Chain A
Amino acid sequence: MSGLATGLIGVLALFAAILLGVNVMVALGLVGALGLASLVGFKAATAVLSTVFFDTTHSFHFSVIPLFLLMGFFAMRAGLGEDLFAATSKWLGNLPGGLAISTTIGAAAFGAASGSSVGTATVFTKLALPEMLDRGYDKRLASASIAIAGTLAVMIPPSALVVVYGILTDSSIGGLLVAGVIPGVVFALILCLATCLTVLRRPELAPTTPVTATLREKVASLRLAGPLVLVIACIISGLYLGIFTPTEAGAIGAAFTFLLAIIRQRGLRRIRLKDTLLDTIRTSAMIFGIIICALVFSKFLALSGLANTVGSFLTTLDVNRWIIVALIACIYLALGMMMDAPALLAITLPITHPVMLKLGYDPIWFGVFVVLLAEIGAVTPPVGINCFVVQASSAGRVKLEDVFAGLVPYVIAGFVMLVLLCVFPQLALFLPETMK
């Protein structure tokens, strides 16, 4: 059997195994290892398995993942989302759809610290949804604005998902982290604009009840939210200016968030340090399990020649290269509806990344593009994870149909962001190209 046929069978076997409920990590690793064994023999496949676990994890740079996760879990345990929502609603609450806009901005800041799309959606459903509904906001607008705001977490650095992309594609992790800043901020603004336009067109969706807060109260609301935003800004600027490495940024961020958590919860007891650490190591193990096994699968695909053949085929097609990008985008959106973002990246990047490089696209730009696609997939039916989370955390106040129905303007906003990234790639590339 030719290498190409083995590669094709491997891809089909991978999807079959995943759809049959085999752990994504096991499916990737087993298909990859068996594929290698069929191409180069059992001994060579065993040699790959003997080194890949050590070689992948014995790395200072990859230590950034548990540290970013730790920062996120401290931010969640500290209840910093509450402070951010209180602050943003005091400052922005009087705009049309002000509470939904406050949610978006608050979630962007909290998401930057937590790095978790799902975690951000959970926290803000509990904080913002009751307040919006009590003030007469439409269920669809209120719930959808939260579901989409969660996705900002993985765009705006620090973001563990972006690091996963960096490891899987051997791209600059610092560059990728910095690259997400402008697209993340622009996307947050587009989401706010989508809320504004929706409410201006149909004012009954978000009745205006003035949020009364004096300047003193507004400033006071920044007591803990301010330092968190400041530390995120310091991390981004420190990376940009080359003052510290991504791993050091992770450690500084985690330590600072830990300190904020101690201050806010008045001691260690309510932070539940042991549980926070256990959450961190569990998620780290899950992510690294997938990364390592994806690397085995990636080696198999490269050796089979499938990735190269698909790349050569697509690059010699007599079509505009943007059509290929659109095709790849459709694949990501479809798969993003079915699985978690790290698994999605692990399964697809061994094929799509070489194709995009052959087509002349920048790997850092593609990283931002793919992460955005994965996150749009996370709010799109039939299986938008964030929508399930919002519905599940709403204590029965919204139905899943409400969340999906309200997402139409936000998904359009997501597509607008994708188009902007394609038309103006410098949105993602300007900072990495000028960083020190």
Chain B
Amino acid sequence: MQSVDRVRRIFGGFLYGCGVVAGVITFLMMCLVLVNAVLRFAFNAPIAGTLEITECALPLLIFLSLALTQYEGGHIHVVLVTQHFSQFWQRSTQLLAMLLGAAFFAWCSYAAWGFATKSLAMNEQEWGAIRFPLYPVKFAIFFGLALLTIQFVLDAIAIMAGLTPGQRNTEVLEGVE
């Protein structure tokens, strides 16, 4: 049980690092959009490429933080019915939820990998005021989805080992922070 918890925590530490990177991207995006708006309004001199950079920043910040949110139990789920189940059935439904999550995001990761490799093969470009390759963003999406799949698998193993993964955003019982 301890080794499962240790692996989960080590992986959580890595996800935390990804989350910090996503946070920095968010802050930089705020600065870029702000400066662009001010320069455009005051001097009619917007920063070239703001739109394209912001467009690519959003998927990075979302997909770098999806798995961290799952690690901390931040995705919404409803316990209105399951809270009345016995301990055994509560754990069984939790396990089912994690396995379904793992299966779905494994499918998504497979799909996103194909999409990213195609983009790389054709050297797909972002078109606009500035040009740059799009495939890194698509690989980042695959990376985020793969991390989320791993996190679901780890949560499923944790439940089987008798641990309780993050319960941060459980509607009804705890509801909110």
Contact = CB atoms under 8 A, between A and B. Distances in A.
Interface of A: 17-26, 29-30, 33, 46-47, 49-51, 53-54, 57-60, 62-63, 66-67, 70, 118, 122, 243-244, 247-248, 250-252, 254-255, 273-274, 277-278, 280-286, 288-290, 338-340, 342-343, 383, 385, 388-389
B115 A278 contact: no
Given A54-B115, A281-B22, A285-B66, 12 more contacts: A20-B97, A21-B97, A49-B112, A60-B51, A67-B33, A252-B37, A274-B23, A277-B26, A284-B61, A285-B74, A343-B76, A343-B171
Contact of B54 (A60, A277, A284, A340): A60
Contacts of A274: 20, 23
Contacts of A26: 75, 97, 100-101, 104-105
Interface residues of B, number: 68
Given A18-B78, A63-B58, A252 B34 contact: yes
Contact of A286 (B22, B169, B175): B169
B57 to A, nearest CB: 7
A50 B68 contact: no
A34 B57 CA distance: 30
Contacts of B94: 21
A342 B172 CA distance: 15
B7 interface: no
B26 A280 contact: yes
B127 interface: no
A388 B76 CA distance: 16
Nearest to A34: B104
Given A21-B93, A248-B37, A251-B30, A281 B175 contact: no
Contacts of A20: 81-82, 93, 96-97
A24 B27 contact: no
B27 A339 contact: no
Nearest to A16: B81
A59 B97 contact: no
